[in-house]
Amino acid sequence: MTVQSGAPPAGATVYGCPRQGRRRELKRAVEGYWRGRVDAAGLHRTAAGLRRENWLRLAGAGIDEVPTGDFSYYDHVLDTTVMVGAVPGRHRAAVAADPLDGYFAMARGTQETAPLEMTKWFDTNYHYLVPELGPDTVFTADPGKQAAELREAQALGLTARPVLVGPVTYLLLARPAPDAPPGFRPLALLDALLPVYAEVLAALRAAGASWVQLDEPAFVQDRTPAELAALARAYDHLGGRADRPRLLVASYFERLGEALPVLARAPVEGLALDFAEDCAANLEGLAAIGGLPGKRLVAGVVHGRNVWIDDLGVSLATLSTLRGLAARLDVAASCSLLHVPLDAALERDLDPEVAGWLAFARQKTAEIVTLARGLTHGTGAIAAELAGRRAALAARAGSGHTRDPAVRVRTSAVTGADAHRREPYGKRSAAQRARLRLPLLPTTTIGSFPQTGHLRAVRADLRAGRIDTAAYEEHIRGEIRAAVDFQERAGLDVLVHGEPERSDMVQYFAEQLTGYVATRHGWVQSYGTRYVRPPILSGDVSRPGPMTVRWTSYAQSLTERPVKGMLTGPVTMLAWSFVRDDQPRAETARQVALALRDEVLDLEAAGTPVIQVDEPALRETLPLRANGRAAYLAWATEAFRLATAAAGAGTQIHTHMCYAEFGDVLAAIDDLDADVISLEAARSHMRVAGELAAYGYPRAVGPGVYDIHSPRVPGTAEAAALLREALRAIPAERLWVNPDCGLKTRGWPEAGASLEHLVAAAREIRAQL
């Protein structure tokens, strides 16, 4: 393929950068401020330094329009709430008294006031603070942060483009305020919000912005005609103003679909589309409307949220097709680089073979610049990069690290029967009843027990070499003894070992499976100052040996009561990792499932009567558009069953999920065919119990009666009331009693008291049955 030179030069840009800094300086400064160790001026100075470093790095790499306003002390949706003055009533006094402290109060709450709710940003692991809007919300424009950051970048002599959450997406991400009347929808506030956005845009133009980016990712999801009409109205309004900068409306994570013609017709000067995640669909969509004559197209060809080097040849071909479809074409990553780590070059301990396949934010930036150069000056100008990339991709495809023939033989031999328990639920539950002899309303927990500062210190000692493995493991056994002792004294029926050996439920297994690699510096923001280091699925997965058996068996050796083994399910093992891009997720899930299947059989052979396979991420990786969901749920549930179905009838398989919205995946939950499922329910007043009953769910359920996300200790009466509520939906023979989730983040005093109350509540209700 050759790309002709001669057309107008292609620019290179990105929509946002990782915020934390190379040494997570932002985390340290913000947390220092919360503890009173850093003052506001110090925090602002650190932040300004990090922004400057990001911009200079981008510009130095060849990015010719840098983003501004993407930086945040906590979350950019919360920043938008401040920008439009939508501070909830309960926080207004604090924000008026001190804007920075008020900002953090909205994010984290105070002793007296609850924070805003937090939820996942589309299908990423980034969490945003949910705007709370009601009919009384009065919007006022506060362009201060956006204008100031624009000026900072301009002062460095850079061309900068402010990036804002678009007004329609902002409203679609919002929830009705607690006091809003039933049926109120935040989108009803659009006409009040638009003049405020217009004012912010005018202020940015006055500050020297020639382009402003408005992100409308909500339109990569299925939208109603009314929502599409709102989109059209919004951009007619904003585009119709004379005192505005040029507008670039951005979408990412999926195809724009029905919203593409709406925005193509709108009086805006540019669109940014994702050509990495669903390239063909956006290409077809553009071709169908005859391209974007007269407009700027920003093409997100470099995948913005995977960690893999780009196939530059393929991207260049896409770009050259796009070139004929718009007046100006720029190259970008498909979404903000917020969702990938900063720099793969920092990973000096990685297997150099794998390291050569990785591209984090810094490497992706270089790829974008290379592609823009190739587009502008022709293929010849980047011949060396193209050849190097072809060689790296060929090496990756043929590498023994990527492909393990034994794994491939095994996955391709899987049959439908492998993914089904041999006995139907009726027979299994009879066998399990006979074996376990549990009372009605059996009590259990979700797996983890409090992880104390002492435990974390011991783990740090092991990593630093201050203690050896034997000393560490002795300590872990002590934690298990304490957990088992407590559970026996508290009178729980099915015990757990408490998971003290795991600092993270995915990382623990990733470290023991082949096909996963861990990074040292690969931090990405999860929320606020919380950063995670997801493991990377880089090759075929297998299990060299048992991963959990000795800890579970040790716990079982301490007690007569049944101990539940504890595994992380295949869907969650993928969802909380970076997955490979060279094979379908379904294939990777199947490999992980087979490794877990072996673990289930080893646990069973060691005498473990109950095995829980957690799938808290099943609901969260649901595709953004409805037409992808059936296929996803089919492979996801199959992977779970593949992991669990080899268990004999007398082995009780549990699963667990959190995050209260299950309404649209009830059939998938049923498809898991787990003997017992525990779900988060305490916060949502047992809603899920009613939903499962209405669906006709046939197996045992443990809706949580203790909200572990709060340090509050629920009393016996409160837990008993929740159980009575659950019993209205689920018959006593199929009802379990447990908390909402694991107790890892709780302290012993409150977790202990809460579990004692939970057991007392179960006994009280049993006595009345």
Task: Give the footprint of Zn ion on this chain (CB under 5 A).
Answer: 616, 658, 741
Question: CB under 8 Å, gap of 24 or more: what pairs does 84-89 form?
Answer: 84/139, 84/140, 84/141, 84/142, 84/170, 84/193, 84/196, 84/197, 84/200, 85/138, 85/139, 85/140, 85/141, 85/142, 85/196, 86/131, 86/132, 86/133, 86/137, 86/139, 88/116, 88/132, 88/177
- Residue 427, annotated ligand binder? no
State the amino acid at position 604 in one-letter form: E
State in angstroms the smallest separation of the CB of 446 from ligand GLN. 4
Token pair, residue 305, equals 């949220």
Does 125 count as an annotated binding residue? yes
Looking at the Cβ atoms of 279 and 658, the one nearer to ligand GLN is 658
Q: Which is nearer to Zn ion, 285 or 447 (CB)?
A: 447
Nearer to Zn ion, 63 or 495 (CB): 495
Q: Which does 505 bind (CB under 5 to 8 A by kind): Zn ion, ligand GLN, none?
A: ligand GLN
Closest CA relative to residue 251, chosen from 225, 229, 277:
277
254 is in an annotated binding site: no
Binding partner of residue 673 among ligand GLN, Zn ion, none, CB cut-off 5 to 8 Å per kind: none
- Is the Cβ of residue 42 or residue 711 nearer to ligand GLN in the bound state? 711
> Quick one: which of 169, 186, 236 has its CA closest to 86?
186
What the block records as the tokens of 357 is 């396949």
Q: What is the C-alpha separation between 561 and 445, in angstroms, rounded? A: 14
Closest CA to 207 of 249, 164, 160: 160
Q: Which is nearer to Zn ion, 163 or 657 (CB)?
A: 657
The site partner of 675 among Zn ion, ligand GLN, none (C-beta below 5 to 8 Å per kind) is none
β-pair partners for 514: 542
- One-character DSSP codes across 235-300: HHHHHT-SS--EEEEE--SS--TTHHHHHHHSS-SEEEEE-SSSHHHHHHHHHHTT-EEEEEEEEE
Helix 76-83 vs helix 99-108: angle between axes, to the nearest 10 degrees? 130
- 258 labeled part of a ligand binding site: no
Please choose which of Zn ion, ligand GLN, none residue 448 contacts, taking the beta carbon within 5 to 8 angstroms, the exact cut-off set by kind. Answer: ligand GLN
Q: Which of Zn ion, ligand GLN, none lies near 407, with the C-beta cut-off 5 to 8 A by kind?
A: none
Residues of this chain that interact with ligand GLN (CB under 6 A) are: 446-448, 499, 505, 566, 614, 616, 656, 658, 741-742, 744
d(CA 257, CA 211): 24
Smallest distance, ligand GLN to C-beta of residue 669, A = 14
Comparing C-alpha atoms, which of 1, 54, 62 is closest to residue 25? 54
Q: Which two tokens stand for residue 759?
A: 């057991």
What is the rounded CA–CA span in Å between residue 220 and residue 300? 14
Residue nearest to ligand GLN (CB): 742
Question: Considering the complex, what minimum distance in angstroms separates the CB of residue 446 from Zn ion?
Answer: 6
Residue 585 binds: one of Zn ion, ligand GLN, none (C-beta under 5 to 8 A by kind): none
DSSP state of 401: T
Catalytic residues: 709
CB neighbourhood size of 549 (10 A)? 17
Q: Closest CB to Zn ion among 370 and 568?
A: 568
**Does 576 show up as a binding residue in the annotation?**
yes
Min dist. Cβ of residue 496 to ligand GLN (A): 8
Q: Which is nearer to Zn ion, 217 or 616 (CB)?
A: 616
Least separation in angstroms between CB 746 and ligand GLN:
11
Residue 501, annotated as binding a ligand: no
In the complex, what is the shortest distance from the CB of residue 162 to Zn ion, in angstroms, rounded to a whole number?
38
Question: In the bound complex, what is the minimum distance in angstroms from residue 656's beta carbon to Zn ion?
Answer: 6
Q: Classify the C-alpha dihedral 380-386-391-394 as positive or negative.
A: negative
Whether 446 has a binding-site annotation, put simply, is yes
User: Which entry of Zn ion, ligand GLN, none binds 11, CB below 5 to 8 A by partner kind?
Assistant: none
Provide the minimum distance between the beta carbon of 613 and Zn ion in the complex, in angstroms, as a whole number: 13
Q: How far is the CB of 326 from ligand GLN (least distance, A)?
A: 44
741 labeled binding residue: yes
- Nearer to Zn ion by C-beta: 616 or 702? 616
User: What is d(CA 701, CA 436) in angstroms, rounded to the nearest whole number?
Assistant: 17
Residue 566 binds which entry of ligand GLN, Zn ion, none, CB below 5-8 Å type-dependent? ligand GLN
Q: DSSP assignment of 482-525, as one string?
A: HHHHHHHHHT-SSB--B-TT-SSTTHHHHTTSEEEE--SS--EE
CB 238 within 8 A of CB 201: yes
For residues 131 and 742, which CB has a smaller minimum distance to ligand GLN in the complex?
742
Q: Alpha helix (H) ranges present in 399-492?
A: 405-412, 425-436, 453-463, 469-490
CB-count burial class (<10 Å; 0-12, 13-18, 19+) for 488: middle
- At 80, the amino acid letter reads T
Rg, the chain, Cα only? 27
- Whether residue 743 is annotated as binding a ligand: the answer is no
d(CA 64, CA 59): 6
Q: CA geometry: angle at 12 spanning 11 and 17, to 5°?
A: 150
560 is in an annotated binding site: no
**What is the four-CA torsion angle of 185, 190, 191, 194, rounded to 10 degrees?**
160
Q: Are 500 and 451 in contact (CB under 8 A)?
A: yes
The answer on whether 24 is annotated among ligand-binding residues is yes
Confirm or deny that 725 is annotated as ligand binding. Answer: no
What does 50 interact with, of ligand GLN, Zn ion, none (CB < 5 to 8 A by kind)?
Answer: none
Q: Please enumerate, by residue number, every residue annotated as part of a binding site for 5-methyltetrahydropteroyltri-L-glutamate.
A: 24-27, 120, 125, 576, 620
Binding residues for Zn(2+): 656, 658, 671, 680, 741
Residues at the annotated binding site for L-methionine?
A: 446-448, 499, 614
Annotated binding site for L-homocysteine: 446-448, 499, 614
Q: Which residues are annotated as a binding site?
A: 24-27, 120, 125, 446-448, 499, 576, 614, 620, 656, 658, 671, 680, 741
